[in-house]
A = this chain, B = another copy of it.
Amino acid sequence: MTRVFPEEGRRRVAIETVRPRVDGGRFPIRRSVGESVCVEARAFTDGHDRIRCVLRHRREDGVQWHETPMVPGRNDWWRAEFTVPDLGRYVYTVTAWVDHFLSWRHDLERRTEPEDIHVALLMGAELVARTAERAMGADAEVLAETAATLANGTDPDARMALATGTTLGELMERHADRSLATVSSPELGVTVERERARFGAWYEVFPRSCGATDDSHGTFRDCENWLPYIAGMGFDVLYLPPIHPIGRIRRKGPNNTLAAGPDDPGSPWAIGAPEGGHLSVHPALGTLEDFRRLVASARDHGLEIALDIAFQCAPDHPYVQEHPAWFRHRPDGSVQYAENPPKKYQDIYPFDFETADWQGLWLELEGIFRFWIEQGVRIFRVDNPHTKSFAFWEWAIASIQRDFPETLFLAEAFARPAVLHGLAKRGFSQSYNYFPWRNTKHELTAYFTELTRGEGREYLRPSLWPNTPDILPEYLQFGGRPAFMIRATLAATLGASYGIYGPAFELVETRAREPGSEEYLDSEKYQIRQWDLQRPDSLRDYLTRLNRIRRQNPALQHDWNLCFHAIDNEEMLCFSKTAEEEGDVVFVVVNLDPVHTQSGYVEVPLEEWGLDPAQPYQVHDLLGNSRHLWHGPRNFVKLDPRAGAAHIFRLRRRLRTEQDFDYYL
């Protein structure tokens, strides 16, 4: 009987459960530049031998591994971390081996009988001598000498000191025998994106509404005039709905009516007309050159343009004629429009991702991103990615980020959890999510605990939007101005990334198309709107303050540092974020009730925040710019939503006493 053996049966260390890992390593985790990856692995061997564990990482396109020794914790868990300094892809793995030197030294230190110690030193000498053979140069010499002394030295104390000393320990670690090391499998991946993937404030605007005060179609040039206003509020990203020619066939009229009048501009998401498709600019907005000028001008204002990419066609999109194979056809030869019976979207033709020419389709769609990258765009907001094939996204995003690793993708997938997460796993830098519908204390606490503590945090970065052109939540419809302030505050502080659709937001647009609908009345999706940016009730100043606070407090630029705190009122929410490096604690108290004044006692985690229970401490409300002296763990907060529904406190841990001043003795 021929027996089958493993290739090497002497690898005695088992490495199990290396984490973080997504779906067993099928997908990479996600970080932004400069962040760290804290890796844990369960590793153990048979018997009493000591093991060593090392975390290894390298750039995916590199060959040089970097090693970090792992530190053992409880229950055979080992831990180490590495930093990802650059854009791109990294891989990591864990390797571990039985370290006979460590085992030997551990035993040596516990031996008591001189004869045992003598024999043990001889055994150690053998170990060291064998290691000397593997080493080179000076190390080899020192090791050989050490082996000789361990074996033949005459001073027992000196031999013990040599055996247990750090010099020998370091040399033996450097030249450890790893021939029987176990390497964890598979190698796990990290996608590293720039900081904007994690932290940023977005402002969405329809450029065609940026015109003068009449009903004329706004242009990119008009849009440039808005840059000081938007940048002035402290936003980082200016996101434009699709800027392409809009189909005329079955164009929708105001409020999504079926019959558009001759002057109705149509929906920017009904892409394509004889003038061009996804690679063209709507003539009424200007030229491609105008667009590039807007990109440059925005950059001068500290704003980055994000472009909407919607992979669908109006019936008069050139693709429909040029690539009939990319669409499904009906028995009468017409192209299959989008539908969800009994609803029909006859102005929209979806692509058929099961087309025999799927490679041609993929290349073309991916080329659309590349075209706009050439025009200077590096952020894309992807419309309804969950109605396009997952395999395509995984391929396209990886392909583009290989060449342009600074490119970011925001997934507009207000879809079921598996789909939302599935898209994030496949490469989207950020994801819209259920924030618009999480309003109560319980909902917010549960959802943000899941987002920031659940396994999904390794790949899903939430982007929080109180409103979008499609979503005017009922909370905003009925809560009025205080509701807008509450939701903006929550978005800007619960999330490192957030965005608003303006000016509908700062001008407190509350009118829905009909009761029960989240659609805006007279939605900009179907018509040009005029906005009075100077209205005195605008939330412009409030948003400006929020964004300034975000920029000045690194704690608010991260998601995982979120921590909820008790407050004894169901209408009030309290949470904190701490910046590890700066020790900067920011904590937020929000009245979630947009109508009534609410009050309650906040539980301050004194010990966690390093506060002396016997001393007062100062909390500085960055929104109202007021300072309060607090004492002990329970402190009273009262918030009138009409006056200001939230405090964003910055903690000052220690107040000065007389001893801090020059005049004290």
A interface with B by C-beta (< 8 Å): 3, 5-6, 9-12, 14, 16-17, 23-25, 42, 44-48, 75-76, 98, 107-108, 110-113, 116, 119, 122-123, 125-126, 180, 330-332, 339-342, 350, 353-355, 358-359, 362-363, 386-392, 395, 399, 416-419, 422
Cβ contact within 8 Å between A391 and B12: yes
Cβ contact within 8 Å between A419 and B76: yes
Cβ contact within 8 Å between A12 and B418: no
On whether A9 and B122 interact (CB within 8 A), knowing A76-B416, A111-B341, A418-B75, the answer reads no
> In the complex the two chains form, what is the Cα distance from A25 to B98 in whole Å?
26
Cβ contact within 8 Å between B340 and A48: yes
| Chain B residues whose C-beta falls within 8 Å of the C-beta of A362 in the assembled complex | 5, 9
| Chain B residues whose C-beta falls within 8 Å of the C-beta of A419 in the assembled complex | 44, 46, 76
How many of these chains are in the complex? 2
Cβ contact within 8 Å between A23 and B17: yes
| Chain B residues whose C-beta falls within 8 Å of the C-beta of A332 in the assembled complex | 119
| Chain B residues whose C-beta falls within 8 Å of the C-beta of A119 in the assembled complex | 330-332
Beyond A44-B416, A119-B332, 15 extra complex contacts between A and B, CB < 8 Å: A3-B359, A3-B399, A5-B395, A9-B358, A9-B392, A24-B24, A42-B418, A48-B387, A75-B417, A76-B416, A111-B341, A112-B342, A116-B342, A125-B331, A126-B331
| Chain B residues whose C-beta falls within 8 Å of the C-beta of A180 in the assembled complex | 354
Cβ contact within 8 Å between A16 and B392: no
> In the complex the two chains form, what is the Cα distance from A577 to B353 in whole Å?
51
> In the complex the two chains form, what is the Cα distance from A119 to B330 in whole Å?
8
Contact of A16 among B23, B98, B363 (CB under 8 A): B23
Cβ contact within 8 Å between B14 and A390: yes
Cβ contact within 8 Å between A6 and B75: no
Cβ contact within 8 Å between B110 and A9: no
Cβ contact within 8 Å between B395 and A12: no
| Chain B residues whose C-beta falls within 8 Å of the C-beta of A359 in the assembled complex | 3, 5, 9
> In the complex the two chains form, what is the Cα distance from A391 to B3 in whole Å?
15
On whether A386 and B47 interact (CB within 8 A), knowing A416-B76, A422-B14, the answer reads yes
| Chain B residues whose C-beta falls within 8 Å of the C-beta of A418 in the assembled complex | 16, 42, 44, 75-76
| Chain B residues whose C-beta falls within 8 Å of the C-beta of A395 in the assembled complex | 5-6, 9
Q: Specify the chain B residue showing the minimal Cβ separation from A354.
A: B10
Q: Specify the chain B residue showing the minimal Cβ separation from A359.
A: B5
> In the complex the two chains form, what is the Cα distance from A354 to B362 in whole Å?
53
A234 to chain B, nearest CB (A): 37
Contact of A330 among B111, B123, B389, B392 (CB under 8 A): B123
Q: Specify the chain B residue showing the minimal Cβ separation from A363.
A: B3
Q: Specify the chain B residue showing the minimal Cβ separation from A358.
A: B9
| Chain B residues whose C-beta falls within 8 Å of the C-beta of A75 in the assembled complex | 416-418
| Chain B residues whose C-beta falls within 8 Å of the C-beta of A76 in the assembled complex | 416-419
| Chain B residues whose C-beta falls within 8 Å of the C-beta of A387 in the assembled complex | 46-48
The 3 residue pairs across chains A and B that have the minimum distance between CB atoms:
A24-B24, A122-B331, A110-B341
**Can you list 13 A-B contacts with CB-CB less than 8 angstroms, sorted by A residue number?**
A5-B362, A12-B390, A16-B422, A17-B23, A24-B24, A42-B418, A44-B418, A44-B422, A76-B419, A110-B342, A113-B342, A116-B341, A119-B332
A258 to chain B, nearest CB (A): 14
> In the complex the two chains form, what is the Cα distance from A59 to B86 in whole Å?
48
Cβ contact within 8 Å between A353 and B422: no
Q: Specify the chain B residue showing the minimal Cβ separation from A362.
A: B9
> In the complex the two chains form, what is the Cα distance from A548 to B417 in whole Å?
50
Cβ contact within 8 Å between A107 and B341: yes
A447 to chain B, nearest CB (A): 15
Q: Specify the chain B residue showing the minimal Cβ separation from A123.
A: B331
Q: Specify the chain B residue showing the minimal Cβ separation from A185.
A: B26
| Chain B residues whose C-beta falls within 8 Å of the C-beta of A339 in the assembled complex | 107
Cβ contact within 8 Å between B389 and A46: yes
> In the complex the two chains form, what is the Cα distance from A237 to B377 in whole Å?
74
> In the complex the two chains form, what is the Cα distance from A23 to B17 in whole Å?
7
| Chain B residues whose C-beta falls within 8 Å of the C-beta of A16 in the assembled complex | 23, 418, 422
